[in-house]
Amino acid sequence: MAMEASMSASEPQEHAGGYVLIKALEDGVVIMGLTRGRDTRSHHSERLDRGEVLVAQFTSTTAAIKIRGSAEIHTAVGAVQSS
């Protein structure tokens, strides 16, 4: 699955990133956005139930995404399933 990130004037190119598609395979899957910078912290979280899909993007704020639970994760470089 190939996905392209669109650039906005407010987001510097060096921090813009690709999209991540996450599909929950069970109820209660938790997705956490983790910050950039010296201290990595959780800045946002979402809870998905079975069949729900979240499309997320790496930004100047989000350096990593942590997923807890069973989900399909699709990125421009491939797909993986968490358990």
15-82 fold: Immunoglobulin-like (2.60.40)
Whole-number pLDDT of residue 41: 83
Rg of the Cα atoms in the chain:
13
Burial pattern 2-39, b for ≥16 Cβ within 10 A else e, equals eeeeeeeeebeeeeebebbbbbbeeeebebbbeebeee
Q: What residue segments make up the domains of the chain, in order of their start?
A: 15-82
Q: Output phi, psi for 15, to 5 deg.
A: -110, -10
Q: What is the pLDDT of residues 37-75, one digit of tens each?
A: 777 788 889 999 999 999 998 888 888 899 999 999 999
pTM for the full model?
A: 0.74
